[in-house]
């Protein structure tokens, strides 16, 4: 389908902190063309990848690229409850914690990376690292978070099998756990032509702001940020989920 026909490059893992920006790695360099993209294929792939290369790696923009936006979206409320989905070994929430945001939950389906990040962050009390599937956030009550951060998780789901159903289920859960008026912050290599239709599905009611990050490299591609705000008032969109689910299953 049109929405599932998205670019899914294989990405070489590597160490990249804020001093060595990795934003160019996705979509900006020649990537491994000998392997078909596998990063949408579940935790087994990621466990193997993180076991082989445990060094922190920043997908797309780093903390200093996003810091002002994150401060804006939280209104600099250091008590804001934050969920980072598909956290991997990104250091973005470590830096947010060090800047005073201490109510942070990080989740990933890879048990390997969660163990690694728990060990890395013993000096950051209260920060949580949980093995969890972002399409099934049953451990969290409705309206639990003031901010949900996604750095290329939507991209990963768009590259997997049954992409439309997986993305629809994932965004339903994100919408559910967000508090009214609060944002889903999605950083992606996908242009609006390949991402907005996901974010504008009938069971969602996000108001969407688009931000383009031009490449820092002459041969590179832009990255995109989608700030998706959940409405304050109920508008009945969640009742449309059974219909959406039915249409995507067949």
Place 18 in a pLDDT band, splitting at 50, 70 and 90. Answer: very low
- Whole-number average pLDDT of the chain: 84
> What percent of the chain lies above the pLDDT cut of 90?
67
- Higher local confidence (pLDDT), 151 or 37: 151
pLDDT at 182 over 90: yes
- pLDDT value for 92: 97
Distance CA 102, CA 89 (A): 18
- pLDDT value for 73: 97
Query: Looking at residues 8-25, what average pLDDT do you find?
Result: 40
- Higher local confidence (pLDDT), 33 or 186: 186
pLDDT at 65 over 50: yes
Query: Looking at residues 217-239, what average pLDDT do you find?
Result: 87
- pLDDT value for 234: 67
Place 235 in a pLDDT band, splitting at 50, 70 and 90. Answer: low
- pLDDT value for 220: 86
pLDDT digits (tens, 9 = 90+) for 73-112: 999 999 999 999 999 999 999 999 999 999 999 999 999 9
- pLDDT value for 75: 97
Place 60 in a pLDDT band, splitting at 50, 70 and 90. Answer: confident
- pLDDT value for 57: 79
Query: Under a CB-based contact definition with an 8 Å cutoff, are residues 132 and 139 in contact?
Result: yes
Distance CA 148, CA 104 (A): 10
Helix H or strand E encompassing 43: helix 43-52
Distance CA 198, CA 159 (A): 13
- pLDDT value for 247: 92
Place 16 in a pLDDT band, splitting at 50, 70 and 90. Answer: very low
Q: Given strand 104-108, what is the order of strands in its sheet?
A: 128-131, 104-108, 82-85, 147-151, 183-188, 223-229, 207-213
pLDDT at 213 over 50: yes
Distance CA 51, CA 163 (A): 26
- Higher local confidence (pLDDT), 210 or 40: 210
Query: Looking at residues 50-76, what average pLDDT do you find?
Result: 90
**Beta strands 104-108; 147-151: pairing state:** unpaired
- pLDDT value for 45: 82
């Amino acid at each position: 389908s049109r929405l599932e026909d998205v670019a899914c490059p294989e990405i070489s893992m590597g160490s990249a902190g804020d001093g060595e920006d990795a934003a160019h790695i996705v979509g900006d360099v020649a990537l491994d063309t000998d392997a078909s993209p596998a990063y949408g294929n579940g935790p087994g792939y990621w466990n193997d990848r993180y076991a082989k290369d445990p060094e922190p790696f920043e997908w797309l923009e780093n903390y200093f690229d996003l810091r002002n936006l994150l401060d804006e979206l939280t209104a600099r409320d250091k008590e804001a409850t934050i969920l980072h989905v598909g956290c991997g070994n990104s250091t973005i929430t470590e830096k947010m914690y060090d800047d005073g945001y201490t109510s942070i939950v990080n989740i990933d389906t890879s048990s390997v990376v969660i163990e690694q990040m728990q060990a890395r962050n013993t000096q950051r009390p209260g920060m949580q690292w949980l093995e969890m599937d972002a399409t099934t956030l049953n451990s969290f009550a409705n309206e639990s978070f003031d901010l949900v951060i996604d750095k290329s998780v939507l991209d990963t789901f768009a590259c997997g099998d049954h992409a439309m159903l997986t993305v629809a289920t994932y965004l339903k859960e994100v919408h559910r756990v967000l508090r009214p008026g609060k944002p889903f912050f999605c950083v992606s290599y996908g242009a609006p032509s390949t991402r907005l239709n996901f974010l504008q599905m009938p069971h969602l009611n996000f108001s969407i702001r688009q931000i383009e990050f031009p490449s820092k490299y002459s041969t590179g591609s832009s990255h995109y940020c989608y700030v998706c705000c959940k409405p304050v008032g109920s508008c009945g969109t969640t009742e449309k989920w059974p219909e959406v689910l039915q249409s995507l299953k067949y």
